[in-house]
């Protein structure tokens, strides 16, 4: 199945990932082709073992596909060496994880600034932007708090700020609401979606909590490593969201 | 490289500062190891110095022993004929008798007699130490002594004082009163403070067996040799061995190594120092390995967001180095403070070179101990660390 949109920031072509095990070959992702435009927020859903985490890892340049192409801003991640992939992760990709998102010995603002430091772009304007972004996320009073002094929701919002501060082309979120209560989870995803739309990034969120797809533009459903269904109208998406968890 | 180092330093210093209690504890462990290593080195230096001080300060190059005496001064016996033969060997500028014995200085009041090395030297020749205070010995027969600064410190004797020496000759205790004419710098011999006596006076007052009491021909232990050209030590050594009957010559280095117990003592202390450093490597290695294991996920996040392996590795190296430097600095300071409280009679000497070598070794144990953990940190895969691997 192939989804095409104009001005795609991210495009995959028949991406496949196979693993050799003692019991034979396992196809974790099977010829998945998709594209995400700048300013579009997409949810990747599916039951456990459907291949969505493997897909996300390949999109994040953390794992190389066995076959196919992953084009980010027209550059193929699949053929890159480790050094180039590290540079891509640093410059072009923003990432939030399920847990252990933040560097525990850096304050909220230092965690956000870290992305600018890694890219050698930490100047006065960058510092100001980091503070403004955190303030927008409701963390203006928590700039100098360490992760251990913040709630799970606050930590996730710091991670969102860190994922966006360096103006990446692609923002990935792996189960960003897994450790949050429902109210916080909605707040986090809504904020995330708002920023992705506003800053014109391509955003992909992996979740198994279908209630969270309410804020996305499209939902891609995976099963057994394949992309099996796409929900792109508001009605379809809201219907799926009302259905709840997988 | 500058960018990598800058980010790595930032991460390392932030982590150390935000967890300063934990890191300070490790620094304190390193400080204790430093204190121990420095004291072992200082003890080795002090004991070694006490053993070799007189020999190592000799203004000469060779010592001539009786053949087959295994370079043991106390086991060697040489008479005046041998001295004359040595003096005739080409390349020898000066040679002099040295006699060694033990004696007791009788001190005033209730003070215990002080055991000293009684050294018979020839005035004006090699073997007689230069005085820092007073004058040199006048003649071979004078009733005079030069005491070294250790003897002076322990007895409060001054230039011009009379000193009584007790020795056993035959079966009787004999007392000899001599005058202190000079005080030299530290010249310990066989871990004892030293008293230098003109050679013939020494032969008269030294402890003797019943058979020796009436001997008129003075016997020395060894002959000290000063060369015309110190560079020719090996050749002159050969010449003495071949031209003078029944003797064997040794360089000062060989003579020091042959001092009773010297090599065994030094190797024991060096082994102790080595083991302490090894324990230090294990302690630091263990701590940093446990720490890396505790922050696998954190390092995974760093790598996932684009921190390269050199950044992760350098951050660990800098962190380990900072903790080690702080520990070594605290340990060095403690050693300095403790050393000020020891009386000079305790054989602990903080020699600059030895202490510097120990400090360099201590600064290296951190990075060495942390090598395994650094390697582990570099090999952490972000996928596995973040639980994203299938």
Q: What is the pLDDT of residue A21?
A: 85
Say if A56 is an interface residue toward chain B (CB within 8 Å): yes
Q: What is the pLDDT of residue A99?
A: 73
Contacts of A98 in chain B (CB under 8 A): 386-387
Q: State whether B390 and A100 contact (CB < 8 Å).
A: no
Nearest residue to B119 via CA among B165, B61, B174, B81: B165
Q: State whether A90 and B306 contact (CB < 8 Å).
A: yes
- Which pTM was predicted? 0.77
pLDDT digits (tens, 9 = 90+) for B333-376: 999 898 888 887 788 888 788 788 888 888 888 888 888 888 98
Is pLDDT of A4 > 50?
Answer: no
* Binding-site residues on chain B for chain A (CB distance < 8 A): 3, 7, 10-11, 14-15, 17-19, 297-298, 300-308, 311, 382-383, 386-390
A246 close to A211: Cβ distance less than 8 angstroms: no
Contacts of B389 in chain A (CB under 8 A): 57
Is pLDDT of B85 > 90?
Answer: yes
Mean pLDDT taken over chain B: 90
pLDDT digits (tens, 9 = 90+) for A178-218: 877 888 888 889 988 998 999 899 999 999 889 999 999 99
Q: Residues 209 to 238 of A: which have CB under 8 A from any B CB?
A: none
Measure in Å the smallest separation between the Cα of A57 and chain B Cα atoms: 7
Give the 3-state secondary structure of B106-165: ECCCCCCCEEEEEEEECCCCCCCCCEEEECCCCCCCCCEEEEEHHHHHHHCCCCCCEEEE
Q: What is the pLDDT of residue A2?
A: 41
pLDDT digits (tens, 9 = 90+) for B26-51: 999 999 998 998 888 888 888 888 88
Alpha helix stretches (DSSP H) within chain A: 52-59, 82-91, 108-118, 124-136, 152-164, 182-199, 234-243
> What residue has token string 């230098």?
B196
Six-digit token string for B234: 């090996």
Q: What is the pLDDT of residue B220?
A: 93
Q: What is the pLDDT of residue A3?
A: 41
């Amino acid at each position: 199945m192939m989804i095409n949109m104009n001005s795609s920031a991210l495009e995959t072509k028949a991406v496949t990932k196979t693993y050799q095990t003692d019991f034979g070959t396992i196809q974790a992702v099977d010829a998945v082709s998709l594209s995400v435009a700048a300013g579009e927020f997409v949810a990747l859903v599916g039951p456990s073992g459907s291949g969505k985490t493997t897909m996300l890892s390949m999109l994040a340049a953390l794992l190389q596909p066995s076959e196919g192409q992953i084009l980010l801003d027209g550059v193929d991640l699949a053929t890159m060496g480790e050094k180039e992939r590290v540079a891509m992760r640093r410059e072009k990709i923003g990432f939030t994880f399920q847990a252990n998102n933040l560097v525990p010995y850096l304050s909220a603002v230092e965690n956000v600034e870290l992305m600018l430091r890694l890219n050698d772009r930490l100047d006065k304007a960058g510092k100001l932007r980091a503070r403004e972004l955190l303030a927008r996320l409701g963390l203006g009073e928590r700039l100098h708090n360490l992760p251990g002094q913040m709630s799970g929701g606050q930590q996730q919002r710091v991670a969102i700020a860190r994922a966006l501060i360096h103006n990446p082309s692609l923002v990935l979120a792996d189960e960003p609401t897994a450790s949050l209560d429902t109210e916080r989870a909605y707040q986090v995803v809504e904020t995330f979606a708002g920023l992705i739309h506003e800053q014109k990034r391509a955003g992909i969120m992996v979740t198994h909590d279908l209630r969270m797809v309410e804020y996305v533009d499209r939902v891609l459903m995976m099963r057994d490593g394949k992309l099996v269904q796409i929900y792109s109208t508001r009605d379809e998406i809201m219907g799926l969201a009302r259905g709840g968890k997988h | 490289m500058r960018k990598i180092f800058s980010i790595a330093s930032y991460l390392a210093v932030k982590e150390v500062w935000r967890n300063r209690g934990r890191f300070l504890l490790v620094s304190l462990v390193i400080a204790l190891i430093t204190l121990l290593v420095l004291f072992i080195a200082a003890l080795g230096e002090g004991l070694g110095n006490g053993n070799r001080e007189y020999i190592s300060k000799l203004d000469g190059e060779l010592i001539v022993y009786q053949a087959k005496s295994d370079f043991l001064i106390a086991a060697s016996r040489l008479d005046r004929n041998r001295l004359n033969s040595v003096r005739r060997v080409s390349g020898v500028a000066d040679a002099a008798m040295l006699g060694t014995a033990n004696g007791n200085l009788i001190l005033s009041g209730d003070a215990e007699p002080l055991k000293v090395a009684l050294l018979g030297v020839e005035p004006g020749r090699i073997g007689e130490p230069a005085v820092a205070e007073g004058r040199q010995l006048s003649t071979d027969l004078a009733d005079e002594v030069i005491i070294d600064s250790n003897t002076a410190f322990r007895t409060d004797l001054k230039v011009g004082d009379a000193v009584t020496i007790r020795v056993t000759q035959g079966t009787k205790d004999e007392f000899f009163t001599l005058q202190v004419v000079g005080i030299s710098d530290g010249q310990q011999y066989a871990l004892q403070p030293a008293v230098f006596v003109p050679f013939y006076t020494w032969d008269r007052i030294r402890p003797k067996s019943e058979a020796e009491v009436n001997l008129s021909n003075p016997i020395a232990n060894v002959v000290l040799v000063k060369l015309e050209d110190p560079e020719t030590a090996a050749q002159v050594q050969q010449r003495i061995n071949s031209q003078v009957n029944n003797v064997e010559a040794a360089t000062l280095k060989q003579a020091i190594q042959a001092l009773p117990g010297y090599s065994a003592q030094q190797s024991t202390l060096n082994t102790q120092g080595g083991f302490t450093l090894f324990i230090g490597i294990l302690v630091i290695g263990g701590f940093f390995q446990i720490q890396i294991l505790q922050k696998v996920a954190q390092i995974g996040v760093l790598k996932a967001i684009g921190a390269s392996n050199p950044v992760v590795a350098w951050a660990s190296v800098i962190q380990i180095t900072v903790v080690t430097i702080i520990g070594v600095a605290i340990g060095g300071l403690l050693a300095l403070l403790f050393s000020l409280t020891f009386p000079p009679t305790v054989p602990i000497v903080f020699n600059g070179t030895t202490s510097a070598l120990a400090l360099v070794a201590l600064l290296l144990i951190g990075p060495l101990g942390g090598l395994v953990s650094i390697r582990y940190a570099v090999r952490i895969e972000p996928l596995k660390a973040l639980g994203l691997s299938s």
